[in-house]
Amino acid sequence: MLKRYNIILYSTNKIVNSCRYVSQSMLKSTVNEKTGIATVIINKPPVNCISLELLNKINTEINKLQKDNIRGMILTSVRSLQKVFCGGLDIKEFYNPNPDRLAKYLTNLQDTWLSLYMTSFPTVSVINGHSLGGGCLIAMCCDYRVMVGPDYTIGLNETKLGVVPPKWFQDTMAAIIGHRKAEVSVIAGKTYTTDEALQIGLVDESSPDIDNAYKKGIQFLNSFEKISPWAFKMTKNISRQPISQWLIDNKQKDLEFVFNYMQTPSVQKHLGLYLQSLKK
Ligand SMILES: CCCC/C=C/CC(=O)SCCNC(=O)CCNC(=O)[C@H](O)C(C)(C)COP(=O)(O)OP(=O)(O)OC[C@H]1O[C@@H](n2cnc3c(N)ncnc32)[C@H](O)[C@@H]1OP(=O)(O)O
């Protein structure tokens, strides 16, 4: 359930009156009433990995902002995590899964990607820490990426876990850095430092600090002040529709592929080892 009330919010370098929508946990969303810009903050310690519950919250929030006719959105991570934007999908959702929950998770993941990838308003991810697997995916869904650096990493590292990034994960990356670079990147489960990501165009700008990264994000959103929201929406739709339409047309097939391979003994073994290595 989302509550709505008025607060004073720190935004760029001004104190402004804002309207705030707060979810119970895991996701905070604020809308600056003056600028119409929403800031959505993922807050699920220790590493913002995406559980079914967080996935639901992200999807619900995006759909809500869509109805609120906001002017733009910044997606970022709570600062107290310090070095993680998003640790990716919650591997525990895939390891020894309950089949009903796994099916729900995969369906929700498809729906959340569709919502975030196809927003009718401009979006920016301020990547203030590591952004791996699903974390890289949500950052890539945005129209613009500003990554804090130099010490963080970003990438679709699924093959390192012994799993397969679905076609729409790969297409999302290919649309940003080109097919060849994306292919080389995903088959090797490659991760990039901030500088490397900037060099290959996976992120648009880098920044040594979060405040500056946030400012750059706001600047990008402000660049749409003179663009008609309708023209923006239609143009983005034409650009992204071929990738999203594939998933819309192949949802069941896509779900069954992941649902089945995820539960095979060899994939389960790989995931178990990966989880263990994280604990070390
Ligand atoms: C259709 C779907 C197909 C399959 C697609 C999958 C996409 C994915 O997203 S797979 C996951 C990809 N993500 C990763 O590989 C990231 C793994 N995590 C890390 O590399 C590091 O945790 C970090 C760099 C993000 C942060 O490092 P830090 O040293 O600060 O924290 P840790 O001590 O490593 O972790 C703390 C705690 O969190 C657990 N954890 C970390 N990541 C995940 C995760 N993705 N899922 C579940 N749990 C995770 C880690 O095991 C630690 O747990 P304990 O405190 O219990 O030891």
Q: Does residue 93's CB lie within 6 angstroms of at least one atom of ligand 1?
A: no
Tokens of 10: 């720190």
201 tagged catalytic? no
**Quick one: pLDDT band at residue 279, thresholds 50, 70, 90?**
confident
Complex ipTM value: 0.99
Distance CA 74, CA 124 (A): 5
Q: What is the pTM of this model?
A: 0.93
**Above 60 in pLDDT, residue 138?**
yes
Percent of all residues in the chain with a pLDDT value above 70, rounded to a whole number = 91
**Above 50 in pLDDT, residue 156?**
yes
Which residue is it, tokens 């023209």?
231
Output the pLDDT for position 175: 98
Q: Does residue 11's CB lie within 6 angstroms of at least one atom of ligand 1?
A: no
**Quick one: pLDDT band at residue 82, thresholds 50, 70, 90?**
confident
Residue with the smallest CA separation from ligand 1 atom 28 is 47
89 tagged catalytic? yes
Query: In degrees rounded to 5, what are phi and psi of residue 26?
Result: 70, -30
Ligand 1 pocket mutation pick from 42, 44, 48, 49 by most atoms within 8 angstroms of CB: 49
Q: Is 143 within 8 Å of 123 (Cβ atoms)?
A: yes
Ligand 1 pocket mutation pick from 91, 251, 252, 273 by most atoms within 8 angstroms of CB: 91
Domains of the chain by start residue, with CATH: 27-278 (3.90.226.10)
Q: Is 113 within 8 Å of 137 (Cβ atoms)?
A: yes
Ligand 1 pocket mutation pick from 44, 47, 93, 112 by most atoms within 8 angstroms of CB: 47
255 tagged catalytic? no
Residue with the smallest CA separation from ligand 1 atom 18 is 87
Which atom in ligand 1 lies closest to the alpha carbon of residue 275? Answer: 51
Kindly give the distance from the C-alpha atom of residue 130 to the centroid of ligand 1, in angstroms, as a whole number: 10
pLDDT digits over 107-119, tens only? 999 999 999 999 9
Output the pLDDT for position 124: 98
Q: CA torsion, points 181, 185, 190, 195, in degrees to nearest 10?
A: 20
**Quick one: pLDDT band at residue 280, thresholds 50, 70, 90?**
low
Residue with the smallest CA separation from ligand 1 atom 57 is 279
Q: Is 52 within 8 Å of 98 (Cβ atoms)?
A: no
**Above 90 in pLDDT, residue 53?**
yes
With residues binned 3-state (H G I as helix, E B as strand, rest as coil), the percentages for the chain, rounded to 5, are 50, 25, 25
**Above 80 in pLDDT, residue 15?**
no
CA 132 centroid distance within chain: 10
158 tagged catalytic? yes
* Mean pLDDT computed over 17-29: 67
pLDDT digits over 159-183, tens only? 999 999 999 999 999 999 999 999 9
Kindly give the distance from the C-alpha atom of residue 171 to the centroid of ligand 1, in angstroms, as a whole number: 23
Output the pLDDT for position 25: 87
Output the pLDDT for position 4: 37
Output the pLDDT for position 19: 55
* Mean pLDDT computed over 71-89: 96
Catalytic residue among 27, 109, 128, 158: 158
Catalytic residue among 54, 55, 89, 202: 89
pLDDT digits over 243-276, tens only? 999 999 999 999 999 999 999 999 999 999 999 9
* Mean pLDDT computed over 201-228: 97
Q: Is 106 within 8 Å of 258 (Cβ atoms)?
A: yes
CA 206 centroid distance within chain: 17
Output the pLDDT for position 54: 98
